[in-house]
Chains A and B, each alone.
Chain A
């Protein structure tokens, strides 16, 4: 009996998590005529018109490309800046590292609203308004604290003797970082990178304020402000939402062990 109960509970959990997304998929395949009427829960016939529409009418491909570029850029930069910092904090054991780490964690708590207006003013006057560059820099800065925190934990797992061995074998400190520490902490880099990517892929407030046209508009803003002047195409919004969710879901499912490692390393050691 217990196993039946457990199976039912599991089904409930899976249903709870999937239902909204499944309904979105159904809506995206529902013909426009049936879109607004609900008696038929499952559409009588399935149509790909909405998927065609979003890539035809709206610069949707460009928006997805923007998001991917910004998220990848921010991830690379966050790792490129975060790894050396974490290396200094964990293996080089810089003095005052507990204070630095606490400060970094403090910064990660900043609410975006607190810094969005001055950033907006500065970026506008620098003519960086509505550019991908502005988003990359902002996202890197806002995901750096978490990245440094995670990487410090992951680098901490690398035995110190191995670093000393590399130094004695002739590497400079930087050489040891690149040749020995980074390869060994690769899973950590991947976990931190993934979390940064998902953060940048999901971010909304900065994207909303810093972008104006599809030159830099990202997915969350693109979908939030999807309707044109006159149209609220619910079918197309559903299609857009599904199109945007799939890659991230695949990413998450594929790298889920890494993501969980990242979350736990960050949190459990928190």
Chain B
């Protein structure tokens, strides 16, 4: 093809070369087994994690651990794993899995069963929520690594100033918020995440569970119930009747709500634990004025928080399954979780660590978090979670944007979710 000018041909060669280089470093030395640990980018210095992996290599001579990171975006990691696991790739052995993927990947037969690592006796050492998330049809497919859950942030100074206790129930929260809003200029009562995305599902479930409701029970959709209608009506009223939550909640994700609270322009906020560390910064306008507790519940309901965090699993097509399982055991051990907690501020999945004096000294918040994580529950554990979530996102958004009544939205959601389960069966 003499027509393609030399320039174009040179370009293709250059890109080709860049491609080859990108494929990674040289192969292992002969006789060594290489365990590849794939996980989302950890925000912070990679050295502590590397130290843990080196320690593992010392304990298991002949085993080399290569640590490869993926972009932080949850969607992108989800795509990466699905593409490679479906293509039966063995390019990685241990993978960090979001709490909502375990059921999906296990159902697709991509994860090695790890019940051996986490026999029933051992499970009590972890919080119940994560354990429920990693169990599929009675078998364990991942070991909880670290935990995340929804919290209630409140302005300690303002509550003391206006002599209000920390609210235990949603009704109490609304009463307190309206009272303080009346006295404090330009302050929102309660900010949270209402944009149409995964975060909205996390927020809404906390209302449903704390009113004794939910989405799934015994593998069946139980959504359109009076309790759920009452819970979501309340959620909508926060915006449209009580005026406690600004209308802009429909575009708010974690960061915008954290900004509003961080600027001192909100009394209460629902968010993940990461925000606490940012408020400890002396430069923050709310430094020292912020308190954290479990989210309120409805009268007669139970406290509940949506579970997040990451679990470690082993690739079903891995050629070093044994070594990989050992690595998972090592990384989820008490010592490992403690060192990771100290280094990256992760919240350990093992309950024992929440009474470890050294850790408590470094992170006093852990005391509160222990109570929160005890009540933390995984989002509906089903292999079809992504489709379920897409339906919930649009119906919940319809409720808080005032486009549909809670009753209509719940009815539509129930119909669609039933169809999905029937469709997939």
Contact = CB atoms under 8 A, between A and B. Distances in A.
28 contacts: A73-B11, A76-B7, A76-B8, A80-B5, A121-B83, A124-B83, A124-B87, A125-B87, A129-B80, A132-B18, A133-B16, A133-B19, A136-B11, A136-B15, A174-B2, A174-B3, A212-B70, A212-B76, A225-B73, A227-B255, A228-B43, A228-B72, A229-B72, A230-B43, A230-B274, A230-B278, A231-B255, A232-B255
Interface centre among A84, A121, A124 (most CB of B within 10 A): A124
B87 A212 contact: no
Contacts of B404: none
A73 B8 CA distance: 8
Contact of A232 (B3, B83, B87, B259): B259
A131 B7 contact: no
Nearest to A88: B3
A245 interface: no
Interface in A102-138: 121, 124-125, 127-129, 131-133, 136
B259 A128 contact: no
A232 B278 CA distance: 13
Given A124-B84, A136-B11, 7 more contacts: A36-B263, A80-B8, A81-B4, A131-B19, A174-B2, A225-B73, A230-B254
Contact of B255 (A73, A129, A213, A230): A230
A73 B9 CA distance: 11
Contacts of B4: 80-81
B11 A76 contact: yes
Contacts of A121: 83
B259 A36 contact: yes
Contacts of A132: 15, 18
Interface of A: 36, 73, 76-77, 80-81, 84, 121, 124-125, 127-129, 131-133, 136, 174, 212-213, 215, 225, 227-232
4 A-B pairs with the lowest CB-CB distances in the bound complex, closest first: A80-B8, A133-B15, A232-B255, A84-B3
Given A77-B8, A81-B4, A174-B3, A131 B18 contact: yes
A76 B12 CA distance: 11
B44 to A, nearest CB: 11
A214 B72 CA distance: 12
Contacts of A133: 15-16, 18-19
Contacts of B43: 228-230
B256 A232 contact: yes
Contacts of B8: 76-77, 80-81
B402 interface: no
A104 B312 CA distance: 50
B11 A212 contact: no
Given A76-B11, A230-B278, A232-B256, A131 B22 contact: yes
Contact of A213 (B18, B71, B278): B71
Interface in B64-118: 70-73, 76, 80, 83-84, 87
Interface of B: prevailing SS: helix
A225 B72 CA distance: 11
A80 B19 contact: no
Interface of B: 2-5, 7-8, 11, 15-16, 18-19, 22-23, 43, 70-73, 76, 80, 83-84, 87, 254-256, 259, 263, 274, 278
Contacts of A229: 43, 72, 274
Contact of B15 (A36, A73, A125): A73
A52 to B, nearest CB: 18
A81 B7 CA distance: 11
Contacts of B76: 212
Contacts of B2: 174
Contacts of B83: 121, 124-125, 129
A187 to B, nearest CB: 19
A257 B71 CA distance: 42
A89 to B, nearest CB: 14
A131 B254 CA distance: 31
A134 to B, nearest CB: 9
B211 to A, nearest CB: 31
A73 B2 CA distance: 19
Contacts of B72: 228-229
Nearest to B70: A212
B11 A215 contact: no
A212 B80 CA distance: 9
A205 B64 CA distance: 38
A112 B74 CA distance: 23
A80 B8 CA distance: 6
Nearest to B265: A36
Contacts of B255: 227, 230-232
Given A212-B76, A212-B80, A229-B72, A80 B7 contact: yes
Contacts of A215: 22
A174 B1 CA distance: 12
Contacts of A77: 8, 11
Contacts of A228: 43, 72
Contacts of B22: 131, 215
A77 B274 CA distance: 47
Contacts of B73: 225
Nearest to B76: A212
A253 to B, nearest CB: 27
A229 B4 CA distance: 44
Nearest to A214: B71
Contacts of A81: 4, 8
A154 B238 CA distance: 63
A174 B5 CA distance: 11
Nearest to B10: A76
Nearest to A233: B255
A141 to B, nearest CB: 14
Contacts of A76: 7-8, 11
Contacts of A212: 70-71, 76, 80
B84 to A, nearest CB: 8
A92 to B, nearest CB: 12
A125 B86 CA distance: 11
A256 to B, nearest CB: 26
A125 B274 CA distance: 36
Nearest to A182: B5
A125 B83 CA distance: 8
Nearest to A74: B11
